Structure 1
Amino acid sequence: MTQNTPKSVVLVGGGHAHALVLHALKTAPLAGAHVTVINPGTTAPYSGMLPGFVAGHYTRRELDIDLATLAQKVGATLIDNKAVSMDPDQKLVHLENGAALSYDVASVDVGITSRMDALPGFKEHGVPAKPLGEFSRKWDAFRTSDGPKHVAIIGGGIAGAELAMAMAFALRNQTDLVSVRLLDRGQILSANSDKAQSRVRKELSANSVDVMEGVNVIAVTPTGITLADGTTIEANFVVGAAGATPHDWVQNTGLSLQDGFIKVDKTLQSSAQGVFAVGDCAHMTDNPRPKAGVYAVRQAPIVLQNLRHAISGAPLENYGPQSDYLKLVSLGGKRAFGEKRGWGFAGHLVWRLKDKIDRDFMNQF
């Protein structure tokens, strides 16, 4: 490579942090570098508006970040494909179509999945809540189809509860033949505060969501789910929202992992020099945090600055995650629950606040 040849910067995945990096490049380009984005699809859905989309408050188009337009505006190349492995020694990203892309500096922002392939029948008959693109397409088709609507959501975390309330709200506006069940092998919302648990439980009840705790789902069938005690539950839309699971291919990156997530230090750099990871696919070894989009948003300016420094050889900057943040939970209709520093509040005004935050985020693009 000659001195004047642009450095190759590869962004693997179109997650929130990478979308913000592309946005920032409109006013502050990466000097001496060409940026390539690899993403399966030319758009990336915004997770913050997913419950609102499921409930019918937003259109599918409003959910999407237009990566193609972002890339075009900053002179970046968007490759509509999926990464399947990386070789940090050779500095290569291998794609599903068989191509290999070389890089000088790279960043990974591919999010997580809630795929539950180990559960018999789920791959054939279930729908993972993540990746969001696949889920939103299948939900749209189910919601607009004819006939009774019987939904089962496996996984009683806050994401599963939000989806349950949104689905119940949307479906009951269409037909009376509706049932929505939220199932968990333990106690729902166990990772949340007592205040959040109390409020969300009330809202689940108000949305006529049937909560089933201490149940063990052993199979998904064409007509529903089977529990360990032999009980069968009718469902024609089964959603997997249990846990935050890394994508399988991340095992093939050659990077150090923690429970399948890419380990990063204070600078967001992985075990390979010049390879960074951000968003839910990353595990911050110095300051572990739960999987939440607010961290990806705050990581964006730091990873962009460190991409610049990695190109120039300058010292990298540290990222310091916030200790607390405003947690906003959609409650089915145009109502939401908010919590920060022990204070909790719910209602239409909280929804309006959440809606403004989400729309302001999307309007950047």
Structure 2
Amino acid sequence: MAEIVLVGGGHAHALVLARWARGARPASRVTLVTPERSVPYTGMLPGYVAGHYPREALRIDLSRLCAAIGARLVEGRACGLDEGTETVRLEDGRLLPFDVLSLDIGIHGRTDALPGLREHGVGAKPLGPFSTAWDGFLRDVSQGGAAPEAAVIGGGVAGVELALAMAFRLRNERRAKVTLIERSERLLEGAHGRTRRRLAAALNLWSVRVLTGAAVEAVTERGVRLEGGGFVPASLTVAATGPVPYPWLETTGLTLEDGYVSVDGCLRALGQARIFAAGDCAHLTRSPREKAGVYAVREAPVLAVNLCRAVEGRRDLKPYRPQRNYMKLVSMGERRAVLERGLLSVSGGWAWRLKDEIDRRFVSSLTPPR
């Protein structure tokens, strides 16, 4: 029997499995390759950091999704593929054959981009290591083993959200201090002006120290050393700088764009009949878009259909047409959020409740009945 191999437990693949569980599943074996049996939902991460959600609320149970359709789950991390033999290579040396392959491995924070980060800090992505580091930090603070001081490197939306969430969570700790460090001269490059002002006001409200025009020299056990001699004390240092594609994709022979798998209008890797990619690891050649979870969500129904058709040898694949604009909801630490779409930028508790409802509904949709 033919085999579809899904490499990576990203949101697109999770939604594909959920869709197949509801019907229209492929007439083939299905294998999911993932380092973890469950993954956290990225959209709820700031709420988890702020204390609005327990860690369990973020959990997408990939093993249950696989069980719902009788798919095999292989715990492991892919590190290469061979087009000639149609096999995926795992870090432990195992080789998995495929007839149709789909990549949804996401992106990651480069722990080697900043000296000392790998040893003394953590990237905001992937979320598993970050959430473990955050839980450990909170435990140490509560037991008096660490000062309630955290540093976030990167002043984009992800960094600002994390800094606000941390400051809100630590609001009752004496001498708590969260510092946001950005290399350029202002935060939130590319954001709507009103969105930037609203989030700047929130940073001020929760006493987040903001350092712009500050280049990091190294991360140390005691904090962040800045170029020019400055030092930011921190028991926890998190890098929320721009994530990058996994380097092993460079060895695959697939056509890449800046390290991302170039796909056509049907989410197929360019020049490949049976290899697909979706989510943040894919580059949409016909309609390039920024990296955002909304695209992975919208790609999933198309990917689910096309994988079924490809394994049957059909050529009538379904096209994916990404939307031009989408609604952004940015958490503000407390139960408030900024909603931005196009020229509209508004904020309030109602926006957070809207985000909360959307996020909970999404996680619920990925929870098959027992």
TM class by shorter chain equals over 0.9
User: Structure 2 length normalisation: TM-score?
Assistant: 0.95
Give yes or no for contact 1:29–1:74 (8 Å, CA) kept in 2.
no
Deviation sequence 1:7-26 (CA, Å, 0-9, x none)? 10000000001000000111
Secondary structure of the 1:229 match is coil
User: Given that residues 10 and 35 in structure 1 are in contact (C-alpha distance below 8 angstroms), is that contact kept between their aligned partners in structure 2?
Assistant: yes
**What aligned pairs does 1:286-305 form with structure 2 within 5 A after superposition?**
286-305=286-305
Opposite residue 183 of structure 2, the aligned amino acid is: R
**TM superposition shift of 1:204:** 1.1
2:18 matched residue in structure 1: 23
Amino acid aligned to 1:127:
V
Matched ranges for 1:37-186 at <5 A: 37-146=32-141, 147=144, 148-173=147-172, 175-186=173-184
Secondary structure at 1:335's aligned position in 2?
Answer: strand
> What's the offset of the Cα at 1:250?
2.1
Q: 1:153 touches 1:181 (CA, 8 Å); kept in 2?
A: yes
- Where does residue 319 of structure 1 map in the other structure? 320
How far apart in 1 are the matches of 2:248 and 2:130? 20
1:206 partner amino acid: L
- Match of 2:307, as an amino acid? L
Instruction: Supply the distance in 2 between the matched residues of 1:310 and 1:68 (Cα, whole angstroms).
Output: 24
Which residue of structure 2 lines up, in the alignment, with residue 335 of structure 1? Answer: 336
Q: For 2:170, what is the secondary structure of its paired residue? A: helix
Give the CA deviation at 1:77: 0.5
Q: Deviations over 1:168-195 (max 9, x none)?
A: 101123x112111111110210021212
Summarize deviations over 1:307-326 as a string: whole Å, max 9, x none. 01211222212111111111
User: 1:273 maps to what in 2?
Assistant: 273
Distance 1:31 1:152, change over 3 A: closer
Look up the equivalent residue of 1:133 and give its one-letter code: G
Deviation at 1:29, TM superposition (A): 4.2
Query: Residue 310 of structure 1 corresponds to which residue in structure 2?
Result: 310
Any unmatched runs of 5+ in structure 2? none
Q: Could you tell me which amino acid in structure 2 is paired with residue 126 of structure 1?
A: G
Distance (whole Å) between structure 2 residues aligned to residue 181 and residue 30 of structure 1: 48
| CA–CA separation in structure 2 for the residues paired with 1:177 and 1:86 | 51
- Cα deviations by residue, 1:222-243 (Å, 9 ceiling, x for unpaired): 1111111011211111101101
- SS of 1:320's equivalent? coil
In the alignment, is the contact (CA less than 8 A) between 1:267 and 1:316 conserved in 2? yes
1:289-318 C-alpha deviation (Å, 9 max, x unpaired): 111100000000001111012112222121
Question: What is the DSSP-based 3-state SS (H/G/I as helix, E as strand, rest coil) of the residue aligned with 2:335?
Answer: coil
Q: For the residues of structure 2 that align with 1:312 and 1:8, how far apart are their CA atoms?
A: 11
Which stretch of the first structure deviates more once superposed, 278-287 or 138-147?
138-147
The equivalent of 1:248 in structure 2 is 247
* 1:195 alignment counterpart: 194
Distance across 2 between alignment mates of 1:24 and 1:107: 16
Confirm or deny: 8 A CA contact 2:111 2:122 kept in the other structure: no
Q: CA deviation at 1:28?
A: 2.1
Deviation, structure 1 residue 155: 0.7
In structure 2, C-alpha distance between the alignment counterparts of 1:128 and 1:167, rounded to whole Å: 15
Contact 1:244 1:291 (C-alpha < 8 Å) held by counterparts:
no
The alignment-based identity, stated in percent, is 47
Secondary structure of the corresponding residue to residue 334 of structure 2: coil
Unmatched runs of 5 consecutive residues or more in structure 1 = 1-5
The answer to whether the Cα contact below 8 Å between 2:195 and 2:346 also exists between their aligned partners in 1 is: no
1:343 is displaced (CA, Å) by 1.2
Shift >3 Å, 4+ stretches = none
Contact 1:217–1:226 (CA<8 Å) still a contact in 2? Answer: yes
CA distance in 2: counterparts of 1:77 and 1:307, whole angstroms? 16
Spell out, residue by residue over 1:106-147, the C-alpha distance to the aligned partner (whole angstroms, 9 max, x if none): 111111112231311111111000001111111111112233
Report Cα offsets for 1:81-100 as digits up to 9, x if no partner: 11111112211100112100
* Counterpart residue number, 1:3: none
Q: CA RMSD in A?
A: 1.1
* Cross-structure match for 2:356: 355
> Does the aligned pair in 1 maintain the 2:99–2:274 contact within 8 Å?
yes
Deviations 1:55-77 (A, max 9, x none): 01111111110000110111000
Mapped partners of 2:162, 2:125: distance in 1: 12
Q: Could you tell me how far apart the structure 2 residues matched to 1:273 and 1:62 are?
A: 38
Once the two structures are overlaid, the 10-residue window that deviates more, 60-69 or 254-263, is: 254-263
Residue of structure 2 in register with 1:285 after alignment: 285
Q: Which amino acid in structure 1 is aligned with residue 295 of structure 2?
A: Y
Which SS does the other structure have where 1:182 is aligned?
strand
SS in 2 for 1:177: coil
Secondary structure, counterpart of 1:44 in structure 2? strand
